[in-house]
Structure 1
Amino acid sequence: MSLLKGQHSQQQEYEVERLFSNLNQVTLKREPGSLSSAIFLVAGTTIGVGILAIPAESVTQESGFLASSVACILCWIFMVTTGLLIAEVNVNTMCELGSGGVSLVSMAKRTLGVAGVQFSCWSYIFIHYALLIAYVARSSDILTNFLGIPLWESATLFSLVFGGICYFGSQRFIGAVNGVLVFGIIISFTSLVVAASGDLHLDALLKANFSAVPMSIPIIALSFVYQNVVPVLCTNLEGNLSKVRTAIVLGTAIPLGLFLVWDGVILGSISTPEMADKIADPLQQLLSTNGVVGVTIIQAFSFLAIGTSYIGFVLGLSDFLADFLKLPAGENKPLPYILTLIPPLVLALLDPEIFFKALDFAGTYGVLVLFGIIPAAMAWSDRYSSSSTSIKLQQLVPGGKVTLSLVMGAAGFIILSEILENFMHL
């Protein structure tokens, strides 16, 4: 039996290698990406300015470091699982359609039907535009303060530079840029940790209020969003599921480590309940004790984190729009990038506050639906539907229907809890 299983696995690998060999000759016309570039892309997309808000009063302060660390690790496992499910369905879809550059549109159409496509598409577009608007608005504030130029010039400069990197840059160049930015993030983050750890109390890290954990999960989950670049990874790594798995696990493990360290440093510095009550925003404590140095470090970290996330979201949305518009796979057409870059730039300059409110809604409901329930539903259909492709690749997530049910059930439970919580506060 094991011999037959091994032969079947070898046949799967051969089919995938043959498919991507043909795609490279006919449709992709692009250089394959390296594993290190893929890891940096995932890490850079995941690390956003949201990391600075994790120890805020409304997120992890109430639950404490011990309980919030458990929540961060569980959210990481959950988001890694859904990313692997997306990769599994994506490569299967490329094998069945015989083309690269497959986004959520084709995946949802193949597995969930017309209704699934409509819901997935609009959720995807809403979340991405909301996040891109927030990134452009925040980066323009930082550049205006640093360069002393008008807000519209800062926003335009940021969009042109980072959008140009995505459009004109090769896979290797984008990977190198992401690597430099992630390295800068780690340096600035280390400086932040050193500045904030002067009054660290280890006994404060033992606080655990697990009853407060569910309220923090939507925001923590939003901090681990990277799934939008998984289709890009699958194409760049030529459907090599082993490399895709490594890129996802290692690429998200870097932000997890940063999240835990930052959460511990801030919450460990809040040694008494009286002090905790006064610190709604831990960054204010850091700024008040470090002055200009603290402001400079935070702005540097924020800008670098925004830059890496912006690159990932631009690549993900432009790839999605190219598939949505039925453009040829593997060719850099300007239209998807224009539709990706211009609306967030214009809307961020008009009235960003409206979209920050929308962003809160997206974090609570959109992310857990789009990157929680839908990946498990697509994998369920792909694995167990009689109409699915005859080329069955290895399953990246073990556990069969039990695991898929747990993923959908966990996301649904958090969404329902949030709805009930908001209803009770009306």
Structure 2
Amino acid sequence: MTMCWAFLLIEALLLVEINVGLLKRNKVKFEESELEVISIRTMAEETLGEWGGALATVTYVFLGYTSMIAYISKSGEILCHLINLPESVLGFLFTSLFTILISVGGTKAIDQVNQWLTALMIGLLVAIEVLIILYGGWSGDEGSSDWGEVPPAIPVLIFSLVYHDLAPAVLCAYLEGDLKRIRASVLIGGLVPLLALLVWDAIAFGLSSQVDHVADPVELLLRSVKWSGVSYMVQAFSLLAVGTSLIGTLLSFFEFLKEQLNNLDLQPYVYTRSIYSSSQLRLRTWWRRNNLGFTAIAIAAAPPLLVSTTIPDAFYAATDIAGGYCMTILYGILPPAMAWAMLNSEGQDSEMMISRARPALLSVGLVACAIVALQILQDFSMSHS
């Protein structure tokens, strides 16, 4: 797990350096009212050319939808244990709440909400883990290791630890290209899920060592702690974990789609502006400013809501696709390729520490290619078994 986290951290720092480099090259001016976002599609297109932009676009859209499907499906499943309604209805309502908040409140409002939800999630996690430790459910090294189970777990680990959808798309613009602050945010933010997963794994090993057969650690936890409130704590933590992940994915996907829609609509506006009167131009500008966001959020949220509502148990399939293919290509293969191309075209920049290290770029790129190849082999063997 720590090796997977270190790999993803290097990739995230690469994305940050590329994004900040493009912000400087394009002389982006940061305005308080609206973020000037450079999406990963733009990053790939400006460094690798049109083919890179096309690959990033297709992969990112597929990733956005599969991740959203996974989160919507899981949120409905969790809420179903608390509220006696169908999972599809609960997942729809849960996602619609955040969709409305992003479209109406904007980045600043959703950032405040996400901070509060994250703080509450961490508090619940600490409380749950303290309870488990008090009841003897802790083990740092018990249990046997089966390295054959590692490859199938890689997509889940990547899906759990990836935060790269926010790093280039929102974080660099939100912190106005301040590379030191961005690096610190990426490092500290990445440590939170790592520590949570490490402690949870130690707890799961301790609980599973108490039984002779494989069992769900959550079920073992509920059996070990004889207090009914712990069940609600676990469900609340799970829902907060899904909710904060959903916010990040939805926000970054929303910003990505808004940029693409703005680019599509820009050229007709430029070429035909001379035929409009001043009042028509003002109306057109108002329409673009206020409805572009609503269109982007509808495109981002509607298809995964439809799929998760009509296809039950979509969580695991969506997780494997998103983690094994989309995230690995987008945040594993493309970043070192973009950094390599940027280094060839622009030379060395003293601030770009990782992007200048060609051995590091080659190493992480090969690791990402190996993960995708391994996932293809696993899927191929499963389809013929």
Q: TM-score, normalised by structure 1?
A: 0.74
- Aligned partner of residue 82 in structure 2, secondary structure: helix
Tell me the alpha carbon deviations over residues 207-227 of structure 1, each in whole angstroms, 9 at most, x when there is no partner: 555565444333212211111
Amino acid at match of 1:84: L
Could you tell me which residue of structure 2 aligns to residue 324 of structure 1?
260
Could you tell me which residue of structure 1 aligns to residue 366 of structure 2?
409
Task: Point out where structure 1 has 5 or more consecutive residues left out of the alignment.
Answer: 1-71
Q: Which of residues 117, 126, 138 is equivalent to 2:74?
A: 138
Partner Cα distance (1:380, 1:348) in 2: 39
Amino acid at match of 1:119: L
Residue 174 of structure 1 deviates from its aligned partner by: 2.7
- Aligned partner of residue 353 in structure 1, secondary structure: coil
Tell me the alpha carbon deviations over residues 227-275 of structure 1, each in whole angstroms, 9 at most, x when there is no partner: 1111201111111111110110001111111111111111123337xx3
Could you tell me which residue of structure 2 aligns to residue 97 of structure 1?
26
* Residues 83 and 227, structure 1, Cα contact 8 Å, conserved in 2: yes
Q: Which of residues 214, 217, 222 is equivalent to 1:279?
A: 214
Structure 1 segment 210-359 matched on structure 2, within 5 A: 212-230=149-167, 231-271=169-209, 275=211, 278-290=213-225, 292-326=228-262, 333-354=293-314, 356-359=316-319
- Aligned partner of residue 313 in structure 2, secondary structure: helix
Partner Cα distance (2:126, 2:371) in 1: 33
Amino acid at match of 1:268: G
Answer yes or no: is 1:167 the counterpart of 2:96.
no
Amino acid at match of 1:186: I
* Residues 88 and 393, structure 1, Cα contact 8 Å, conserved in 2: no
- Aligned partner of residue 283 in structure 1, secondary structure: helix
Change (3 A) 1:393 1:177: farther
- Aligned partner of residue 169 in structure 1, secondary structure: helix
Residue 171 of structure 1 deviates from its aligned partner by: 4.4
Partner Cα distance (1:399, 1:269) in 2: 46
Could you tell me which residue of structure 2 aligns to residue 86 of structure 1?
15
* Residues 69 and 318, structure 2, Cα contact 8 Å, conserved in 1: no
Could you tell me which residue of structure 2 aligns to residue 119 of structure 1?
55
Residue 373 of structure 1 deviates from its aligned partner by: 0.7
Task: Point out where structure 2 has 5 or more consecutive residues left out of the alignment.
Answer: 29-35, 267-287
Answer yes or no: is 1:368 the counterpart of 2:306.
no
* Residues 101 and 330, structure 1, Cα contact 8 Å, conserved in 2: no
Partner Cα distance (1:218, 1:125) in 2: 18
Residue 206 of structure 1 deviates from its aligned partner by: 7.7
Residue 150 of structure 1 deviates from its aligned partner by: 5.1
Moved more, 290-299 or 340-349: 290-299
Change (3 A) 1:175 1:423: closer
Tell me the alpha carbon deviations over residues 56-101 of structure 1, each in whole angstroms, 9 at most, x when there is no partner: xxxxxxxxxxxxxxxx211111111111111111122233334431
Change (3 A) 1:351 1:409: same
Amino acid at match of 2:300: T
* Residues 196 and 266, structure 1, Cα contact 8 Å, conserved in 2: no
* Residues 204 and 271, structure 1, Cα contact 8 Å, conserved in 2: no
Partner Cα distance (2:250, 2:2) in 1: 27
Tell me the alpha carbon deviations over residues 171-213 of structure 1, each in whole angstroms, 9 at most, x when there is no partner: 4433322221112112221233234332346474485555654
Q: TM-score, normalised by structure 2?
A: 0.81
Residue 305 of structure 1 deviates from its aligned partner by: 0.7
Could you tell me which residue of structure 1 aligns to residue 281 of structure 2?
none
Could you tell me which residue of structure 2 aligns to residue 51 of structure 1?
none
* Residues 83 and 248, structure 1, Cα contact 8 Å, conserved in 2: yes
Partner Cα distance (2:82, 2:245) in 1: 20
Partner Cα distance (1:200, 1:144) in 2: 27
* Residues 133 and 345, structure 1, Cα contact 8 Å, conserved in 2: yes
Amino acid at match of 1:312: G
Moved more, 87-96 or 295-304: 87-96
* Residues 208 and 220, structure 2, Cα contact 8 Å, conserved in 1: no
Change (3 A) 1:421 1:285: same
Moved more, 347-356 or 75-84: 347-356
Partner Cα distance (1:424, 1:170) in 2: 45
Amino acid at match of 2:123: I
Change (3 A) 1:355 1:147: closer
Moved more, 255-264 or 179-188: 179-188
Residue 125 of structure 1 deviates from its aligned partner by: 1.0
Amino acid at match of 2:216: D
